[in-house]
Amino acid sequence: MGLSAREKRTLDGIADRLYTEDPLLAESLSSFATGAVTAEPLSPRRGPFPAVLLPVALLAAIMAIMAVLLPPISGTAEADPAPVSHTLIRG
Amino acid sequence: MGDSFGDRPRGRTAAEEGVIRDEAAEAIAEEHGKLGLPAAISLIVGNIVGTGVFLLPASLAAYGTISIVAMALVSIGAIALAIVFGRLGARLPTGGGPYAYAKDAFGEFSGFWNAWSFWLTAWIGNAAIAVVWVNYVNYFLNWTSPVAQIALALVALWIPALINLSGVKNIGAFALVTAVLKFIPLIFVAVVGLFFVQGGNFGPFVATGGSWIAALSTAGALALFIYSGVESVTIVAEKVRDPARNIGKSSVYGVLICAAMYMLSTVAIFGTVPHDALVNSTAPFADAINNMFGGSVGGGIMAACAIVSGIGAINGWTMLVAEMPMAAARDGLFPSVFARESRRGVPWVGIVAGTALTSLVAVYNYFGTEDGFNKILLIATFTTVIPYFFSACAQLFWLVTGARRISGARLGRDLAVTAVAILFAFWMTYGAGMEAIFIGFLMLLVGIPVYIWTKAKRGEYGPGGEVPASPHGRPGR
């Protein structure tokens, strides 16, 4: 996730203050980021297909089935939008 | 802060200590002015229970007693959504609620779209409550001219606006009082009515003549929006005392209270008012009271209850109308004017602007066409769902990425609850109907130029957004 220019400016301001107040600490910290950054690395804690993603795939499948089956079952969404009478927008 | 109340530390002057004491006192006063758990629950209950509840049993009766099953399913979905909001509120106890969650999980544009969507639904929906509120006031006044009704609608909108402008403490107190007042007759019907239930009044299980699946689905779609407002406390998180704890508690308790009231009152009314009469009723709660005790006093009692309920709901929603854009404006994602706060610490621009827009829609109801007014209200239907869906998906996002803080059985439980909340929000989207989705989506697109405008004004991109050279000649960039 890239930083916005505003966020970059804020970080720059913080870095400038750090350089002014404690140059040695600033040099030490900057040594951690001397290499070229080509992409934001993701945490390598899990394998290529973590089991926790199975429910996500299942959820997507259920949503697809609902999208296909709900209109023919109840028909409400195709006809007059009955559920949206203005007294029932909120309980 | 502890030392400001203890012995004076060595080297600190009396003046310095006085300053610290003042800061501590301000902090305590600020906390004191925030919403506690009872006020937070009242805000949720007050926003969920508006004026629609007073017609709901009659609308559901047309589908038969299967609609009680549908309501139970909807209630389960709403409770799941409340739990998800509680988890998200504990994780990110900042103002804006669904806006903040979507921005945190999916980026600025998603956050903006949620703020825009919620802002639309909040002020447009208030117009619907105000118009229905006028009808209940006219039970007593019978002011039928459009000008008189407009005057009443403006009273319904601007009294809550003035309460909102007077500060958070007054908003909370008003929410608490109206929530209690509206609940006394509703709970009375729900509990006492059970003693007057007669089996013959319930009518058929499926009254539509079609399949039970179709009746269940359609009745469910009708009831899907009765829990709108479940997100209320997340939006005002900064004005809630101990938000990490109280957002979750108030969201779940608030929905449980409403679910109990909805379910019990529906069963009680189904059992005390004969089915055929209930289907055609314009005041089912009043009919239930009249059937229980005889006479015709029920109409007046329930009209008074609806008046209190409606103005209480407008009070709470007016708060949200202003709080959501304020949170986005602070991040530069809504026009900056919405971030302005009064001396009483309320976003006065958002309150005034939102109420003014609602007033225009309400006035349109009396001078425009009814069809046109209903079309405007359809926008609020679809845009209600967007924040729910994104928030539930944000929770799923955090659960399946490395940012999660739980594992094992707790992870499985939270995944299951989140999946129910997502499917519920998806069902709500369907339940909004084609026309609402169509108009609502067009209004979502209208937000994109607003997003571009706020970004451009902020100097985000282009030459104006270039990172300036370091004034200290800092190396290494």
- Closest residue in A to B215 (Cα) is A74
Per-residue model confidence as pLDDT tens digits over A33-57: 666 656 665 555 555 567 778 888 9
Q: Which chain A residues have a beta carbon less than 8 Å from that of B48?
A: 90-91
CA–CA separation, B266 and B53 (whole Å): 10
Per-position b or e across A35-69, b if 16+ CB within 10 A of its CB:
eeeeeeeeeeeeeeeeebeebbeebeeeeeebeee
Token pair 């006394």 in the structure block, residue: B184
> For chain B, what are the domain ranges?
35-456
Q: How many CB pairs under 8 A join A and B?
A: 170
Question: Distance from B134 to chain A by nearest Cα, in Å?
Answer: 12
Contact B132 A87 (CB under 8 A): yes
Token pair 């602070």 in the structure block, residue: B330
Q: Which chain A residues have a beta carbon less than 8 Å from that of B434?
A: 77-78, 81
Q: What is the ipTM of this complex?
A: 0.72
Across B247-326, where does the E strand assignment appear?
Answer: none
Q: Which chain A residues have a beta carbon less than 8 Å from that of B433?
A: 76-77, 80-84
Contact A87 B423 (CB under 8 A): no
Residue B370 in tokens: 């009814």
Contact A70 B460 (CB under 8 A): no
Cα distances from B172 to residues B100, B169, B310, in angstroms, run 23, 5, 16
Task: Quote the radius of gyration of chain B (alpha carbons, Å).
Answer: 24
> According to the model, what pLDDT value does residue B473 have?
45
Residues forming a β-bridge with B240: B35
> According to the model, what pLDDT value does residue B321 have?
94
> According to the model, what pLDDT value does residue B157 have?
97
Residue among B94, B96, B114, B117 at smallest CA distance from B106: B114
> According to the model, what pLDDT value does residue B476 have?
41
CA–CA separation, B357 and B196 (whole Å): 45
Instruction: Using a pLDDT cut of 90, give the percent of chain A over it.
Output: 9
Helix axes B408-431, B370-400, angle to 10 degrees: 160
Between positions 13 and 72 of A, the ones with CB within 8 A of B are: 15-16, 19-20, 26, 30, 33-34, 42-43, 45-46, 50, 52-53, 55-56, 59, 62-63, 66-67, 70-71
A59 within 8 A of B425, measured Cβ to Cβ: no
Which of B59, B419, B458 is the closest to A6 by Cβ? B458
- Closest residue in A to B219 (Cα) is A83
Name residues of chain B where pLDDT drops below 70.
Answer: 1-33, 402-403, 460-477
Residue B472 in tokens: 């200290």
Residue A69 reports pLDDT greater than 90: no
Residue among B100, B102, B120 at smallest CA distance from B450: B120
B82 within 8 A of B251, measured Cβ to Cβ: yes
Question: Distance from B158 to chain A by nearest Cα, in Å?
Answer: 20
Task: Quote the radius of gyration of chain A (alpha carbons, Å).
Answer: 26
The CATH H-level (homologous superfamily) assignment of domain B35-456 is Amino acid/polyamine transporter I (1.20.1740.10)
Contact B433 A82 (CB under 8 A): yes
Question: Distance from B7 to chain A by nearest Cα, in Å?
Answer: 33
Contact A84 B378 (CB under 8 A): yes
